[in-house]
Amino acid sequence: MVAGKTVELVISGIGGQGNVKAAQILGTAAVRAGLRVRVSDTFGISQRGGPVLSHVRIGAVYGSMVVAHSADAVVGLEPMEALRAASQFLKPGGIVIMSTRTVYPVEVNTGKAEYPPLSAILDALRIAAGRVITLDATEVALSSGIPMAANVVMLGVLAGTGLLPFGPEYVEQSIRELIPRSVEENIRAFRAGLAIGAPSKRDDFSSPEKMAG
């Protein structure tokens, strides 16, 4: 935990993956910890699976949007959207946390475009990021008993890195407050992510094969 620090985060994904809820949980956790926070969301055609970006700025900040190349971390719920967000917002040496579960856009499903290999996405991320953590968040959530909690797993990974200026207990309190159903399953999902994000269990994949799943 880093006290008294301004932390800038971008959560990227597509409509339906829980970007907005994840940002709300982080914002509530920051308020519980007595910190100033700004949260905002930008939507594409989210109801059709379009891109969604959530900006979370914690600390002595005033504007609601993370400016270009200043995010301490990008949390990507989908690989291509993680790359898009990192290329625009991640600061040099920042952290990328990426779920490897792909969701193909309409252009790919209709044959009008090709989805890049995961290995190529990871190679590009490594150029800009100081640390890249990859996992299949849906699989981790499924093992926790709630496959829809991939966004909560990703919050756990983020908390495990120690980047947040408050402890994971504040995030757990926010999960209990903002998620009315399957609370204990969500807490298990969060703690599973927490273990993955911890420095002693970092998951920096070195080969595409390890990203499968």
Q: For the residues of 33-64, what is the DSSP string, one character each?
A: TT--EEEEEEESSGGGT-EEEEEEEESS---S
Q: Which two tokens stand for residue 174?
A: 């926010």
Which pLDDT tens digits describe the chain residue by residue (213 residues)? 444 579 999 999 988 889 899 999 999 999 999 999 999 988 665 555 678 999 999 998 888 899 999 999 999 999 999 999 999 999 999 999 999 999 887 778 888 888 999 999 999 999 989 999 999 999 999 999 999 999 999 999 999 999 999 999 999 999 999 998 999 999 999 999 999 998 644 444 333 333 332
3-state SS, residue 140: helix
Q: For the residues of 169-199, what is the DSSP string, one character each?
A: HHHHHHHHHH--SSHHHHHHHHHHHHHHHSG
pLDDT at 4: 55
Residue 59 carries which side chain, given as an amino acid letter?
Answer: G
208 neighbors 79 (Cβ within 8 angstroms): no
Angle (nearest 5°) at CA 59 between 151 and 98: 25
**Which residues is 99 bridged to in the sheet?**
135
Q: How far is the C-alpha of 155 from the C-alpha of 194, rounded, in Å?
A: 8
CB atoms closer than 10 angstroms to residue 1:
13
Q: How far is the C-alpha of 60 from the C-alpha of 68, rounded, in Å?
A: 18
